[in-house]
Structure 1
Amino acid sequence: MKRVPLITALALAGSLVFVVPSAGPAAADAYDNPPIGGALLGGRGVVVDPAARRLPKTEASAFVVADGDTGEVLAAKNPHGRFLPASTLKALTALTLIPKLDRKKMVKPSHEACNVEGSAVGLTPRKIYTVDDLLRALMMVSGNDAAVALAEANGGLAKTLADMNAEAKRLQAMDTVAKTPNGLDKPGQSSSAYDLALIARAGLANPAFRKYVGTKVANFPAPKGHYQIANHNRLLGRYPGMMGVKNGWTSKALGSFVGAARRDGHTIIVTVMRHEGSFWPEVQDLLDWGFASRGRVAPVGTLVGPVPTAKPTRPVGGPPTPAPAVSRPADAAGDSSPVGTAGVAVLAVAALGGLAFAYGVRRRRRRQE
């Protein structure tokens, strides 16, 4: 990857933020408590290297463009803004349940699962489905009924939601709260463009997940024979290198999408949230921008790695085992961070400017109160 010289990075740092975060407590808190992924990701405006080519227009309330290989966030808008995720939450459902369930296990969905509202694959309360079938229906046709049936196979809704929220915390997707396994709107449920990018990146590292999100057409069991289901991702087979992942829509959440494409050995991840119209053309434009910009721009943050689960142990009669390295946000990482030395310099200097801005905002607010 082409690295931005340190002096150049320092010179650009003061103007790295295209849109200054909204004034007020939210802006100040973003700098007092730097968000996961880097201090520049705490605002609500667009952040991008000013030397980068012009970003495509998008009507989404939030978006992220990231390098899926290095984890570098290339551009973002309100990346940690919390929104209803709609069916993009199913990516977390799949990522959570794939390692927990035997994909050959036969499942008989309950009447409640078969009658769930919204998009459905058309389950019947018969033991004719494997976990593999249900995961395919979950990620290809956004089956809300399949999501509930999978939760039942995992020990019930309460256990599955607990597992999903634990997985979100493991991934450091701290904006994400799962209240349903299918993404249907429910008070308190949320995710963010940043978190969805984290979840998608982790999912694409799993071969089974990649298979489900990348399948265009498949046979699905019926009481008599089978029928075909087709993937709802309109970019599969149309956009070069599209790997898939998940789109979603509800009347309250509006449109959302998280997906990835791979070309010439490189992966770009794009997330959009709360889009009022058709986001497909804009997703293509953001992917094109990401492929053209990767390795050529200073990143504005990073997609962090999961929290290590191993605990240090002390062998009997021996020295303590070193604790595993903890993934850190870009603004706190050393030279080993995917952001690199130049990226760290940009984030650090811009963060200092943000602190000064936040402090000024607080002083003005005190005078107004």
Structure 2
Amino acid sequence: MRVRRVLASALATLAIAAPAYAATPTPVPTASTLSVPPSAPSPTDSGKSPDAPDPHPPRGGIGPQGQAVGGAELLSRRTILPAGAPGLPKDLTAQAWLVADLDTGAIVAARDPHGRYQAASIQKILTTVTLLPRLPGTRRVTVSPSAADTEGSHAGLVAGGSYTIDQIFQGLLLVSGNDAAEALAQAAVGRAQTVALMNRTAVSLGAYDTYVQTPSGLDGWQQLTSAYDMMLFLRAALAQPRFVAYDRLRTMVLPPQHPAQQGRTGAVRLYNQNLDFFDQIPGAIAAKTGYTDAAQHTFAGAMTSHGHRYGVILLRAQRYPQDQYVQAAGLVRWAAALPAGTDPVGTLERPIAPRRVAAAAPSRQSATPAPSPTPGSSRDSGGGVKALVAVVVFGGLFALTRRIRNQGRRRRPR
């Protein structure tokens, strides 16, 4: 009996000490599970960045009113093709991908478009969209030690060095400098405020699958996005001429620095990491790549074909047997060759400003515009003013009630 008690005690101790993931064996793939991405590996904390994404991310593709964003068909985690479409190009390796006509907003085809994955450095597209309007290109910035020492890929910014915003953005996009991302965030509104601003920008663009925790794309445990959301960010970036100008540069030079804290450093020449894409793909417009252990390879690119601009997003992909930009170009050629009039599988929605909601969906009775009110008319006074006062009072009481009800609640990331 004593031996049994000792053995039982030892087994209990081992059970407590064992890692939590040891009790959950990796499921064996079956025919019914091969059509969706495999589960992420168990997280570890041995490095500065997580080695795996959140294994159980919240479901994507649902808007704030419970609607299926971009169309109900996009909620599928399988490959989604137009009716009668030919077979896809070979050697597509991405767990999630999307190809869209950026001029019409039509999503031509996709796989797991709202599946939530790590973005890696293509998240810098959202960083650029968020910060460009706040940072004039000629403004000079002194780089902090924390920015210069950021983990991962570097543009070569020197702590204490002085650079223009233009130069830092070029380092961000040409060589995916994480030091540049941190320097821009600090120069704008501060790191934490930039992350919060990126999350607000994502929502304002209609990207509800995205949650940001770093300005560079370095992994965060809850930091996720989707192919659909990344296409929204790419479309927004292409509307900013500065982004396109930075992204297409072949090379640039960071000037020599001589900060007081260290000796003089020489000039640093940077070469665009996507030169193969720009040199080999006809109609290439812009491209951004990324990689972390959690994300694997990611790609966002745009190119022109048959008179239309197409965008491609690849998430959790590989660079063999073909590089990502070759896979992306193959998808665009396939999409552009579809017969005219092919129905899309979804749409890239454009958020509607609240003040334009009524105008965006006029009733039959309001098809003919009513004449504008003139000062002193019945439309401009009397009942209209009373109604406005009532709306303001009611709205204020409603907002106050919600604020009281929400006090003490802790806001949770999506």
Q: Shorter-chain-normalised TM-score: which range?
A: 0.7 to 0.9
CA positional deviation for 1:238: 1.4
Cα distance in 2 between the residues matched to 1:240 and 1:268: 12
Question: Residue 343 of structure 2: which of 298, 301, 304 is its match?
Answer: 298
Are residues 161 and 295 of structure 1, via their aligned partners in 2, closer, same or farther at CA, if it must alter by over 3 Å?
farther
Cα distance in 1 between the residues matched to 2:105 and 2:357: 27
1:5-24 map, 5 Å: none
Task: Name the structure 1 match of 2:314.
Answer: 272
Cα distance in 1 between the residues matched to 2:332 and 2:357: 41
Task: Name the structure 1 match of 2:127.
Answer: 93
User: Is 1:60 aligned to residue 94 of structure 2?
Assistant: yes
Question: Residue 140 of structure 1: which of 155, 165, 174 is its match?
Answer: 174
Offset from partner CA, 1:139-192 (integer Å, 9 cap, x none): 111000000000000121111011111110010111111100000001110110
Asked if 2 retains the 8 angstrom alpha-carbon contact of 1:120 and 1:141, the reply is yes
The two structures have a TM-score, normalised by structure 2, of: 0.67
Are residues 312 and 254 of structure 1, via their aligned partners in 2, closer, same or farther at CA, if it must alter by over 3 Å?
closer
Question: Residue 229 of structure 1: which of 249, 270, 292 is its match?
Answer: 270
CA positional deviation for 1:277: 3.5
User: Is 1:283 aligned to residue 283 of structure 2?
Assistant: no
Task: Name the structure 2 match of 1:196.
Answer: 230
Unaligned runs of 5+ in 2: 1-33, 38-57, 258-264, 359-371, 385-414
The two structures have a TM-score, normalised by structure 1, of: 0.74
Asked if 2 retains the 8 angstrom alpha-carbon contact of 1:136 and 1:212, the reply is yes
Cα distance in 2 between the residues matched to 1:45 and 1:178: 25
Task: Name the structure 1 match of 2:140.
Answer: 106
Task: Name the structure 2 match of 1:325.
Answer: none
CA positional deviation for 1:264: 4.7
Cα distance in 2 between the residues matched to 1:157 and 1:231: 26
User: What letter corresponds to residue 257 of structure 1 in structure 2?
Assistant: F
Cα distance in 1 between the residues matched to 2:225 and 2:341: 29
CA positional deviation for 1:230: 1.3
Are residues 306 and 217 of structure 1, via their aligned partners in 2, closer, same or farther at CA, if it must alter by over 3 Å?
farther
1:196-215 map, 5 Å: 196-215=230-249
User: Is 1:175 aligned to residue 234 of structure 2?
Assistant: no
User: What letter corresponds to residue 56 of structure 1 in structure 2?
Assistant: P
CA positional deviation for 1:33: 4.8
CA positional deviation for 1:294: 7.1
CA positional deviation for 1:281: 2.5
CA positional deviation for 1:266: 1.2
Are residues 73 and 177 of structure 1, via their aligned partners in 2, closer, same or farther at CA, if it must alter by over 3 Å?
same
CA positional deviation for 1:50: 2.7
Are residues 294 and 140 of structure 1, via their aligned partners in 2, closer, same or farther at CA, if it must alter by over 3 Å?
farther
User: What letter corresponds to residue 131 of structure 2 in structure 1?
Assistant: L
Cα distance in 2 between the residues matched to 1:307 and 1:141: 35
Q: Alignment partner of 1:191: what SS?
A: coil
Are residues 116 and 56 of structure 1, via their aligned partners in 2, closer, same or farther at CA, if it must alter by over 3 Å?
same
Task: Name the structure 2 match of 1:39.
Answer: 72
Are residues 145 and 250 of structure 1, via their aligned partners in 2, closer, same or farther at CA, if it must alter by over 3 Å?
same
**Greater CA radius of gyration, 1 or 2?**
2
User: Is 1:155 aligned to residue 157 of structure 2?
Assistant: no
User: Is 1:244 aligned to residue 278 of structure 2?
Assistant: no
Q: Alignment partner of 2:332: what SS?
A: helix
The runs of at least 4 aligned residues of structure 1 exceeding 4 Å deviation read 19-22, 29-34, 309-320
Offset from partner CA, 1:184-218 (integer Å, 9 cap, x none): 00111011011111110111011111111222222
User: What letter corresponds to residue 290 of structure 1 in structure 2?
Assistant: A
Asked if 1 retains the 8 angstrom alpha-carbon contact of 2:182 and 2:215, the reply is yes
Percent identity reads: 38
Task: Name the structure 2 match of 1:187.
Answer: 221
Question: Residue 253 of structure 1: which of 292, 295, 299 is its match?
Answer: 295
Offset from partner CA, 1:72-124 (integer Å, 9 cap, x none): 00000000000010001000000100011111110011101000111110111
Q: Alignment partner of 2:351: what SS?
A: coil
Greater relative CO (CA pairs within 8 A, separation 6+): 1
User: Is 1:69 aligned to residue 81 of structure 2?
Assistant: no
Task: Name the structure 2 match of 1:50.
Answer: 83
Are residues 312 and 303 of structure 1, via their aligned partners in 2, closer, same or farther at CA, if it must alter by over 3 Å?
closer
Are residues 44 and 30 of structure 1, via their aligned partners in 2, closer, same or farther at CA, if it must alter by over 3 Å?
farther
CA positional deviation for 1:308: 1.9
Question: Residue 262 of structure 1: which of 304, 314, 333 is its match?
Answer: 304
* Number of positions where the alignment pairs a residue of Structure 1 with one of Structure 2: 298
User: Is 1:216 aligned to residue 250 of structure 2?
Assistant: yes
User: What letter corresponds to residue 297 of structure 1 in structure 2?
Assistant: T
Are residues 158 and 309 of structure 1, via their aligned partners in 2, closer, same or farther at CA, if it must alter by over 3 Å?
farther
User: What letter corresponds to residue 219 of structure 2 in structure 1?
Assistant: D
Offset from partner CA, 1:40-60 (integer Å, 9 cap, x none): 000100111131222113111
